Amino acid sequence: MGECHTPVCEALVILKSQQDQLEGCPTDCFSSLLAKLLKVDTIPFMLYTPNGGPLELAGFEHEQYTICTKYFHTRFFRIESIDKENCCAKISLLRPVDLEGYSATSICEVAYLERTKICTVVDLNCFCAVQCLDVELMRKIIIEPKW
């Protein structure tokens, strides 16, 4: 079986390459500088199905020192790895967070995106489009008081 050449697969290969540059490479002074300037290691994206709607998945995360569980739905993902031969990608879920730090329930409420350890593998043949999002969504918003 040869390499998959669907537009979605090709787009995610490019996205993964750009994201790797954000993480910085110890032998490349430009990529490590880029990583320091942007202070992010993720290019968030959305996947669209043939019916035109975005892929939406649910996730559960347990907080480390409490019995609290964060349950959320998300349309936002991070590319972890890509298998061009089988046209599959391992993606992690990004938790949408509102200004108060809770899971956003509407796309209009999203203040920033938070990385999670929740991953899944998707068949890229099942999607027709990729939409990259602003890396600024990966930065936490800090609102300082006026006084």
What is the pLDDT tens value at each position of the chain, 147 positions in all?
Answer: 456 668 999 999 999 998 887 776 555 555 555 555 567 889 999 999 999 999 999 988 766 665 666 789 999 999 999 999 999 999 999 999 998 888 898 889 999 999 999 999 999 999 999 999 988 898 876 666 666
Tell me if 145 is assigned to some domain. Answer: no
Domain count, the chain: 1
Measured CA to CA, the distance from residue 74 to residue 96 in angstroms comes to 6
Tell me if 84 is assigned to some domain. Answer: yes
Tell me if 52 is assigned to some domain. Answer: yes
Measured CA to CA, the distance from residue 37 to residue 39 in angstroms comes to 6
Tell me if 82 is assigned to some domain. Answer: yes
This prediction has a pTM of 0.83
Residue pair 49/41 in contact by the 8 Å Cβ criterion: no
Domain that includes residue 102, residue range: 7-138
In the numeric block, the tokens 């990529």 are attached to: 31
